[in-house]
Every structure is written in structure tokens, then in C-alpha cells.
Amino acid sequence: MVLPDNMILSASGWRGVFAATNNEEDNTEHISPAHRVISAAAAVVFAEYLKKTAKNPVILVGSDTRPTGKAIASVMIPVLLSSGCQVRYAAVTCAPEIMAWARSLGSPAGFIYVSASHNPIGYNGFKFGLTDGGVLAASETAKLTDSFRTFLAQDNCAAKLESLISAAGPDLPEKVRSGMAAAKAQAYKAYFDFCAAVAWGGSPDIAAAVKDGLGKKPLGIVCDFNGSSRTISIDSDFFTSFGIKFDSINNKPGEIVHRILPEGESLEPCRDLLERSHNRDASFLLGFVPIATETAGIW
């Protein structure tokens, strides 16, 4: 199989236009047959990569809120299972959340994050990582990329992949589906705890001092979530847990109302919200706009 011209394989992730129409601005949920093969092949080569050091590795899977994410996961998960991996699927989760989750496991494991970061909505792709809490090093990604290209060059690769998908049963086997809520809760807690450790070193005294200080000099933060994966991440709970006021718009996952890239006109809704909130309450001083996966665009 020949990779589509718009498919980019880099150290920061693999990405391309996955929308079935090949339109980068299309918000369809459907992926093309070619990208079904690409998704399955990516799962195979990452499973084989991990199995070099662990017999039945745990692979964490999550995605941002792009419409094609569910279709991609429903291909990758059966392939991972048929390849001898244990799968924990958190569905919609943000990139640092799944990374913190992987870091917290402390056992032979890895993660696949389905996302195309700041690219238009018709794009999607994959980020691969281990339990060190980050994506694979460039040298390791290069090995994975070589394996991926080699696999796709086989004449019968599509038939092999369909066999692996069928062997696992339904698109999202019950043993994975039933564990989704627990997986999301684990990812959420790991990220919350990690951020708390970074913010105040896990010290209750520092946390108490921060709360006391914010009680004397309040601070408010606003966010235009733009329907991103952070709508169901820790943001609101984390800020309000130590006394920061928090307000947001476009806070339903998947309701992406403007360009994902947080710059220029895409920052205007956040600027407007911050202005309105500040006029109501002068303690509102900061605002931010996530891309599909992570926080960026801070006012």
C-alpha cells in the first residue's frame, strides 16, 4: 500500500487527512478504507515494538475530540488485542492526561494517543509513548516508522489486518468497553496528582498557603475550550480546588466551533469572555484556549 501524499511521519507523531472525503475541513466521523489499513498497521507495529521487551504489554488508548477518533480507535483496539496486548481505553482524554496515566503505571506499558494536535479538523493521527510520560524519542520513532513502511509494503497487508480485526470480535470488545469509565478515572487522577505535585511539590503546607493567598487576593481564569478534550479533563476541578475562580465557554466535548489553531481570530472568543468576566469581577485576569489536545494560546 502506498501512503497518501498528505501523510506525515515525524518524531512528534504521524498525521494526515483521515476524513473519508479527503477534505481537511470536513468534520465527518468516517475514515477512508486506506486509513482503516493505516490505523490497523500502526497498531500492529507498535504492539510488536512493545512485545520486544514485554510478553503481554499494557497499551493505553485515548483520543482528542476529533470526529474520526472513535472510528480509528475501533480499528486499533481489536488489532492490539489480537496481537497479544492488554488494552485500557479511556476514550476522550487530553495528551498530558494519558501521558501522566502511563507514567503512573510503573510497569511494561505504552500508549497510543489519537490526535493531530493543531491541524484542521479533518486531520488525525497517532502519538506513541512509554511509561516515561512522553512520546517516543526520535530514534525510536524512526525504528517504528521503518517497521510501519515495511509492513504496508507487503502485498497482503490489508488481508492480514482484517484477519486481526475479525479475530478480536466486535469493534470494541466488551472487556474493553466495560473498563472505559475506570480507565478514564485512572487517567484523570494520574494527571490531577501529577499537576498537584508540580504546582506545590505534593506539600499540604504549600497547598494551604496557596489557598490562603488566593483568599486574600482572588484570581479568576477563563477558558474557551472549543470543544476540546480538555472539556472533560481536570481544568475546572484543579483550579477551583485551591480557590481560583473559573469560567468557560464551548465546554461540551466535540463541539468545535472555530479553527483549532489557537492564534489570531481563534482567540477572539476567549478575549471577549475575559473582558466580560473582568468587567463583572476584576479578579478575572487570565484566559487560555486549548488546541484539540493541550493548552495553548494564553491571554
What residue ranges define each of the domains in the chain, with the CATH number in brackets? Answer: 8-190 (3.40.120.10), 203-298 (3.40.120.10)
Cell 489557537 identifies what position? 262
Average pLDDT, integer, range 232-252: 94
Question: Is it the case that residue 160 has pLDDT exceeding 70?
Answer: yes
**What pLDDT does residue 260 have?**
86
Mean pLDDT of 168-184: 85
Contacts of residue 191, defined as CB under 8 A and 6 or more positions apart, other chains included, come to 94, 96, 97, 100, 101, 233, 234
Write down the mean pLDDT value for the chain.
91
What is the mean predicted confidence (pLDDT) over 204-227? 92
For residue 294 the three cell numbers come to: 493541550
Task: Average the pLDDT over 40-61 and give the result.
Answer: 95
The per-residue pLDDT for 299 is 46
Of 82-91, 97-106, 149-158, 254-263, the least confident? 254-263
**Local confidence band at 171 (pLDDT 50, 70, 90 cut-offs):** low
Q: Stretch 57-85: mean pLDDT, rounded? A: 95
pLDDT band at 59 (very low <50, low <70, confident <90, very high): very high
All three cell numbers of 111, joined, read 500508549
Rounded to the nearest angstrom, the gap between the alpha carbon of residue 248 and the centroid of all alpha carbons in its chain is 20
Asked if pLDDT for residue 263 goes beyond 90, the answer is no
Average pLDDT over residues 60-67: 96
Helix 33-50 to helix 69-82 angle (10° resolution) is 40
For residue 174, the SS3 value is helix
Over 60: is that where the pLDDT of 109 sits?
yes
pLDDT score of 2 more than 70: yes
Name the band, by pLDDT with cuts 50, 70 and 90, for residue 298. Answer: very low
pLDDT score of 57 more than 70: yes
Q: Does 248 have pLDDT greater than 90?
A: yes
Specify the pLDDT at position 29.
96
Q: What's the whole-number mean pLDDT along residues 26-35?
A: 94
Mean pLDDT of 83-93: 95
Residue tagged 480538555 (cell numbers): 230
Distance CA 213, CA 173 (A): 49
Edge-first strand order for the sheet with 245-249 is 245-249, 220-224, 284-290, 295-298
Task: Output the pTM of the full model.
Answer: 0.92
Q: pLDDT grade, residue 167 (50/70/90)?
A: confident
| Residues found in the chain | 299
Q: Is the pLDDT of residue 297 over 60?
A: no
pLDDT of residue 292: 55
All cell numbers assigned to 34:
486506506
Asked if 67 and 121 touch (Cβ cutoff 8 Å), the reply is yes
Closest CA to 86 of 94, 95, 98, 77: 77
Give the Cα separation of 85 and 60 in Å (integer).
10
Q: Looking at residue 199, what is its pLDDT?
A: 87
